[in-house]
Structure 1
């Protein structure tokens, strides 16, 4: 059985102050998750820990590891521990208006998550869903007492068929995206709407855009398999916008603002210079504006795990939302 993870828990000041803050909303999910399924270790900066204690959450929980505030380098410490393999998941409830989330140490923490294939969960929706999906996998019978069933109307907004999926990949990750879609097509096909930047969208609609030139045999095989799947369908499988450098990230960000709930799978390459870095950050920040509705995952390993977990949850008839 998979051992409990070590979870870094961080929250921007504006997301932890009020009684009904995003941090409090997440902790209402974490309490049953930690006490009934995964007694995980929580690595938290002191202000986040104190906010949880003041709100009455996990006051007797023995698995807290409390770090100094960010002014004393705690975010860098979390990044270093993640690189060393001592942290498994990062939950950083990042207020889009909080400049700390743009500081070098915060950007480096997220980048190292991408480098090492660790989930970086920056919204309440992403973090809550990730935890509850693991609970369903670990103990579906136990989880059933706390979680919505798929025929419960209160769970409907969380289901793939009611939500929007963004599929974005840098050039060096496009083959990985095609392979991901090839493996998980039945799950991804359940989403109400799929959005992609230009070149990725062309590939996922069964074409090889000219800008890629000669493609590898592996990519060609995946394109042909996708094209065969789409025979007889009306319209494109994913709505393609412009390429990222030409504004596609901004177009998808605008669409996300107008959708009821979105999951963005962004296969980032952290090892290459990205001339449209500002557009990438725009898309990610826009996803965080609706912290209760949207989720953004940033690397192929995390996306694979997400798909495995969602497929299992659907197979056992549970949705990753706590009962009211």
Structure 2
């Protein structure tokens, strides 16, 4: 990875609850210019949807969230191998793996990792990535 911000490959984790998966996929499409220059790590189903929708993006699908994918993302955070976490949550649906979600957001806070749980805050992270590459 180059020291120049214009050459930086951002490492971004993209995660979404079931009711938010299509929203995240659409949002990535709206920001393809940024994600075309990023290494994306995503939990199982979301990663598969991203690969199907945008086969040219560098997506590494991990395990499904409840089957360990959330922990894999957590490990990447602890190893400081991510530059941002985008996790589109569904606050109105029950979350059977709520503990995993809380662990991810806690780790992002502990490691001072920029994170977003909604499109509006995710847009701020993407804007910063886009501005840094100018």
**Which TM-score tier does this pair reach, normalised by the shorter chain?**
0.7 to 0.9
Superposition TM-score, scaled by structure 1 size? 0.38
For 1:160 and 1:279, locate their aligned partners in 2 and report how far apart those are by CA, in whole Å.
33
Give yes or no for contact 1:201–1:240 (8 Å, CA) kept in 2.
yes
Structure 1 spans left out of the alignment, 5+ residues: 1-152, 207-222, 231-235, 318-324
For 2:65 and 2:7, locate their aligned partners in 1 and report how far apart those are by CA, in whole Å.
25
Give yes or no for contact 1:166–1:196 (8 Å, CA) kept in 2.
yes
Match of 1:299 among 107, 118, 123: 118
CA RMSD of aligned residues (A): 2.4
Q: Relative contact order: is structure 1 or structure 2 higher (C-alpha 8 Å, sep ≥ 6)?
A: 2
Q: Which runs of 4+ in 1 moved over 4 A?
A: none
Q: 1:160 Cα deviation (Å)? A: 7.9
Larger radius of gyration: 1
For 1:305 and 1:197, locate their aligned partners in 2 and report how far apart those are by CA, in whole Å.
22
Q: Does 1:281 align with 2:102?
A: yes
What is aligned with 2:42? 196
What is aligned with 2:29? 182
Q: 1:244 Cα deviation (Å)? A: 1.2
Q: 1:298 Cα deviation (Å)? A: 0.8
Give yes or no for contact 2:43–2:65 (8 Å, CA) kept in 1.
yes
Q: What secondary structure, in the 3-state scheme, does the structure 2 residue paired with 1:242 have? A: coil
Q: What secondary structure, in the 3-state scheme, does the structure 1 residue paired with 2:58 have? A: coil
Structure 2 spans left out of the alignment, 5+ residues: none
Q: 1:310 Cα deviation (Å)? A: 3.7
Q: What secondary structure, in the 3-state scheme, does the structure 2 residue paired with 1:205 have? A: helix
What is aligned with 2:11? 164
Match of 1:245 among 59, 66, 78: 66
Superposition TM-score, scaled by structure 2 size? 0.85
